[in-house]
Each structure stands twice: as structure tokens, then as C-alpha cells.
């Protein structure tokens, strides 16, 4: 009797190997031959799941975004600034897994500059996180955590740009990218919205 194959599981395994390959060796290491080496699957089988290098790199980035979203969903049901802080911490590269994800994101962003499909995927994930942060700021205003006259759109701009920067400093291993300094940076950002500060 032929062996039953779980195709979703196999795709997931391949993508997991590819994102780790990008994190460890860089995006140039993503070749069919190298993927076959790290997964143990033949080139033909890999092509069955992914028609080419571009598609597997895109899926590796999607995997990173979804992993962040899942961690955030599992770790919080909090409103306002607490919920905002939780998602921000999940995006920030504060451990080995998230630093590896940051390296994948940086490699993907470079490619997205010249590939419209990949740029669209980046825009979708960026917009999704923006919507989440906007909702948490709206709750914070309603709950009195943040002054009513706060420019929440500008605050979300600042936060998203702050988070993008943390990917770079952590990926390069700069002193500014260590866990304590990054966490303190986020907490200073949040503290500035306290009504007592304004």
C-alpha cells in the first residue's frame, strides 16, 4: 500500500529549513541543491512544492510573519498599551529565534525592493501590524491610559519605524541590539504616552 504523504506538513518542513538556511547562511545560499541537502528531499520533489527560488523565499518570509502573529495571539488578550507592548515584544528580535527571523526579514526586504509580489506581501504584513497597533492605541485613549489629544497615527508611525530599526541592530549584533537595551527602548517609547508625561 502506498505511503500516505501529508503535503502540508512536508511544505511546512521545507519552509522551516529554508528560513533557517537564510538566517544561518544568507539568502544567496538558497539554491535547489542546498535546500535538497538540508531537507534530504530530491530536487524534483522540491520543485513539486515550490516552482523556484523566489516562491520558497517568499514562503519563508510569510512563515516568519505568521510565527510572530501566532506568538502574539497566544501571549495576549490584553487591551491598550499592554497589548501593544506584547505584540511589539514579539516582533522585536529578543531571542535566538527572533534574531534568526530578523535576518530572514532583512534578506526578504532587500529582494522586495525589486519584486512587486514580495513588496505586496511586505505591505500586507506591515499594514496588519499597523491596524493592530492603531486598535491598541484607540483602546488606550478610551481607557484613559493615553491623553485624548494624542496623535495616534503619528505614534504608530514612530512605533513601526522603531521596530524596523530593532531588526537591523539585533541582526548585526550591535550593542544597541541587546535584549535589555531594546526592551528599555520600547518601554521609553510607551512611557511617553502617559497622561502625566504629556
Supply the CATH number for residue 67's domain: 1.10.357.10
Residue 116 in this model has a pLDDT that exceeds 80: yes
Is the pTM higher than 0.85? The answer reads no
* Within a domain: 134: yes
In this structure, is residue 112 part of a structural domain?
Answer: yes
Q: How far is CA 26 from the centre of its chain?
A: 17
Burial of 175 (0-12, 13-18, 19+ CB in 10 A): exposed
Instruction: Evaluate whether residue 157 is within a structural domain.
Output: yes
For residue 157, pLDDT beyond 60: yes
* Per-residue confidence (pLDDT) for residue 34, from 0 to 100: 92
| Count: domains in the chain | 1
User: Is 1 a domain residue?
Assistant: no
* Count of helix runs (H) and strand runs (E) in the chain: 9, 0
Flag whether pLDDT at 78 surpasses 90. no
Per the structure, the complete domain to which residue 90 belongs is given by: 7-191
Amino acid at each position: 500500500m502506498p505511503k500516505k504523504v501529508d503535503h502540508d506538513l512536508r511544505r511546512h518542513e521545507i519552509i522551516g529549513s529554508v528560513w533557517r538556511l537564510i538566517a544561518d547562511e544568507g539568502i544567496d545560499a538558497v539554491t535547489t541543491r542546498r535546500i535538497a541537502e538540508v531537507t534530504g528531499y530530491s530536487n524534483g520533489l522540491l520543485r513539486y512544492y515550490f516552482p523556484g527560488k523566489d516562491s520558497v523565499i517568499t514562503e519563508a518570509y510569510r512563515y516568519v510573519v505568521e510565527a510572530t502573529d501566532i506568538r502574539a495571539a497566544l501571549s495576549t488578550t490584553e487591551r491598550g498599551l499592554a497589548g501593544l507592548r506584547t505584540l511589539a515584544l514579539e516582533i522585536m528580535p529578543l531571542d535566538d529565534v527572533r534574531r534568526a527571523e530578523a535576518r530572514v526579514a532583512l534578506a526578504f526586504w532587500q529582494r522586495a525592493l525589486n519584486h512587486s509580489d514580495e513588496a505586496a506581501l511586505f505591505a500586507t504584513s506591515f499594514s496588519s501590524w499597523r491596524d493592530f497597533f492603531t486598535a491598541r492605541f484607540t483602546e488606550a485613549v478610551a481607557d484613559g491610559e493615553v491623553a485624548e489629544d494624542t496623535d495616534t497615527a503619528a505614534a504608530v508611525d514612530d512605533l513601526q519605524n522603531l521596530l524596523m530599526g530593532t531588526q537591523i541592530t539585533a541582526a548585526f549584533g550591535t550593542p544597541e541590539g541587546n535584549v535589555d537595551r531594546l526592551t528599555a527602548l520600547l518601554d521609553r517609547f510607551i512611557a511617553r504616552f502617559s497622561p502625566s508625561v504629556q
